[in-house]
Amino acid sequence: MLMKAPRGTNDILPAEVPQWQLFEEKVREVCNLFGYNEIRTPIFEHTELFQRGVGEVTDIVAKEMYTFLDRGKRSLTLRPEGTASVARAYLEHKMQGEAQPIKVYYLGPMFRYDRPQAGRYRQFHQFGVEVFGTNEPTVDTEVIMLPVFFFKSLGLKEFTLEINSVGCPRCRQEYRRQLQEALKERVPKLCSDCAERYEKNPLRILDCKNEKCRELVQDVPLLTNTLCAECADHFAQVRQALDALGQDYVVNPRLVRGLDYYTKTAFEIISPALGAQSSICGGGRYDHLLATIGGPDIPGIGFALGIERVLAALEAEGVLKQEPDVPDIFVATAGVPETEALKVAMQLRAAGLRTDKDYLGRSLKAQLKFAGKKGVKYVVILGDEELKNGQATVRDMQAGSQEVVLLTELAAHLAGLIREAE
């Protein structure tokens, strides 16, 4: 039987890789513009980090983690998200001792045992940023503006920014009480997940996707009305800064996010080009995460975006094309040993020219056909007579024209042609 990749994982094929590379280049360019440095943390961590950081009652920790015992009987987990790992690294390397804030970004695979469907995978990739050491509201606005800036520079046209404040543990406790009170009679009508959430994590009922649950929470009190003075003021300042930058947004008082560490600002970016999995970016402030995982009470904020979803949105908008990278030059042989072609190819590569050759002993006609199919721009034809005279024929595949060039001038000549064509 033919083996397949595990359910919910994807191969990124050569035709798709250029999009990913372009995406990653853009990530580095934009993060550099905003003053962020890259951080790379392990793919797996002690399970306890996510239990404490992300929260035991979240779906991610309760149902979706890839957890295993290693040979030393330690419980380890493939990271389901990046924030807890980066927070752990910040504390472990005592970055609080450096000039604050610390602004970092990361790129890489995350793992969640989710039900796979379009836009939802068990191994997916995130680009995220985290900022530690400040609760200044303009940093919230800057962290929200970064993905907006990033999406625009990728050419994505349609997306909506939704923001909310989920308050601090103090105002949330009061809200939790009010919400449970309002939903008390409706528990039997909620979906089974929400019935479970009622005791442990009632706020999550607010963003359940189930139609029935959505109806049932239509008239419940809103957290935005219960915010303490400090949280309300912070939220107002974040909005003012967004207004000052002319950034459109929607305040969604039902936006609560699926991870437990959030406080105050929470936000999501939605692409209308996608189906059910339309959230292309999510983030927010987490002022007590570091304390929860054993550090001092240092505030933080960040976001992560799903690379597969953003690429799908770009594709749906027609911005992406799927083409593998193609060499500019193909060295073909006409009755000369293959080593001659390899020698010329190596010389051209050494001169910085993207070059390939034939490896199947094809006839000259078949080599030209193959090069044409691949989309190569120039074919260098090595013939017996020409080679003796230190020459080769250069064929422009688009124009169909040919010229004879001295081998000693071949690299410079081709480099000139490629430059002109660009």
Binding site for ligand HAM (CB under 6 A): 81-83, 112, 114, 119-121, 124, 126, 128, 130, 258-259, 279-284, 302-306, 308-309
Nearer to ligand HAM, 61 or 387 (CB): 61
Which is it for the CA torsion 36, 12, 58, 84, positive or negative?
negative
Q: What is the DSSP letter of 6?
A: P
Nearer to ligand HAM, 283 or 383 (CB): 283
How many residues does the structure list for the chain? 422
Chain position whose Cβ is nearest to ligand HAM: 306
Question: Do residues 290 and 302 touch, judged by C-beta distance below 8 A?
Answer: no
CA distance 77 to 54: 13
Nearer to ligand HAM, 208 or 353 (CB): 208
Nearer to ligand HAM, 286 or 378 (CB): 286
Q: What type of residue is 268?
A: E
Nearer to ligand HAM, 121 or 235 (CB): 121
Question: Do residues 179 and 55 touch, judged by C-beta distance below 8 A?
Answer: no
Cβ partners under 8 Å of residue 218, min gap 6: none
The residues that bridge with 38 in the sheet, in sequence order, are: 105
Least Å distance between CB 282 and ligand HAM? 3
Least Å distance between CB 33 and ligand HAM? 19
Question: Do residues 109 and 123 touch, judged by C-beta distance below 8 A?
Answer: yes
Nearer to ligand HAM, 235 or 303 (CB): 303
Max Cα distance, the chain (Å):
94
Consecutive H or E run containing 331: strand 329-334
Least Å distance between CB 118 and ligand HAM? 10
Least Å distance between CB 256 and ligand HAM? 11
Least Å distance between CB 289 and ligand HAM? 9
Least Å distance between CB 364 and ligand HAM? 48
Least Å distance between CB 338 and ligand HAM? 46
Question: Do residues 387 and 344 touch, judged by C-beta distance below 8 A?
Answer: no
CA distance 161 to 150: 13
Q: What are the strands, taking DSSP E only, across 96-244?
A: 102-111, 123-132, 160-165
